[in-house]
Amino acid sequence: MKVLVTGASGFVGQNLSIRLSRESDIAVLPFDIDNTHTELIDALSKADAIIHLAGINRPLNPSEFMTGNLGLTSAIADELEKMKRPLPIIFSSSIQAEQDNEYGKSKRAAEERLKTYAEKTGAAVRIFRFANIFGKWCRPNYNSAVATFCYNIAHDLPISIRDPQAPLRLLYIDDAVEAILRELWAQKTGFAYCQAEPVYATSVGEVAGMIQSIHDSRKKAVVGDFSDAFYKKLNTTYLSYLDVPDLETTPELKSDERGWLFELIKSDCAGQIFVSTTKPGKKRGNHYHDTKVEKFCLIKGRARISMRKVNGTEHYAFDVDDKIIRIVDIPPGYTHSLENTGTEDCIVLFWANEIMNPAHSDTYRLEV
């Protein structure tokens, strides 16, 4: 299938084109502002379907709304009617089409032209009145609050908010792309409106606060609740606005005669992960926890993990090495230790079900 994608160089167009490129039976015919009308006609003569994303939302002159949004849509419909090619069209409209502003009027007029095209030719037309789409590669300081907040906060630039309570309805880019693909593959007839979900109802101030929190927490190796789908998508989006050199952070390395240790990830809802080295013959631990539990995973070298119930005498030992990767759970009420029994530094990955709090560490010294 050959799919003409208008606005292919834009935010949605880039993400959609890359997604389509993974389909072995789809060839993308890209069209954008730099292409000519002749090239448009050529693409229309070859295409099997059209995904119409191109449009104008921030013109210098309000009259350009109609020229950019209705004009190109009419040109496509006019040419297809002349060619007698009733190609299916998926059109990216906007929730602004419900409003009485110049942008909304132009989008609504484009919808009406496509409705006439569907009625006249029998072609299938699907309209998405998209909410505000956010995600990687959206242009900051243009027409997306999320993109602007992500970019400015990532670069320690100020943000301006006139009304923190102003409502925002947000749609994640990958959800928008998958909704478009579902309609592309669907057996469809006639003219109809479609929904892309989920749409997240929030406010300008709430989103700005979440992005600032993501920015601040990253420096402390803290991550939020990724079971919250909106937070997860916002976190992903923020990361895409960092400059490549800023993707690297340097954790605090705690070193002593045993080796070094650093915290990799900390989460209020999922605990923390930390990594350590232990020198040959050296031992870590010899303590227990009342409630805290841990997992030990040796990934390099050789070691013995020992444990004993705090009010018992029976000792247990796990001899581990990097030939067979194993994970050992440390239950509460068991004093435990890890001793390097090899000839080189061993590396161990640890997980604890809570973030270490020096004031309430739930860690008590006791020899195994």
Active site positions, annotated: 103
* Angstrom distance (rounded) from CA 286 to CA 310: 11
Three-state SS sequence of the chain: CEEEEECCCCHHHHHHHHHHHCCCCCEEEEECCCCCHHHHHHHHHHCCEEEECCCCCCCCCCCHHHHHHHHHHHHHHHHHHHHCCCCCEEEEEEHHHHCCCHHHHHHHHHHHHHHHHHHHHCCCEEEEEECEEECCCCCCCCCCHHHHHHHHHHCCCCCCCCCCCCEEEEEEHHHHHHHHHHHHHCCCCCEEEECCCCEEEEEHHHHHHHHHHHHHHHCCCEECCCCCHHHHHHHHHHHCCCCHHHHCCCCCCEEECCEEEEEEEEECCCEEEEEEEECCCCEEEEEECCCCCEEEEEEECEEEEEEEECCCCCEEEEEEECCCCCCEEECCCEEEEEEECCCCCEEEEEEECCCCCHHHCCCEECCC
Sign, CA dihedral 22-90-93-98, equals: negative
- What is the C-alpha radius of gyration for the chain, rounded to an integer number of angstroms? 29
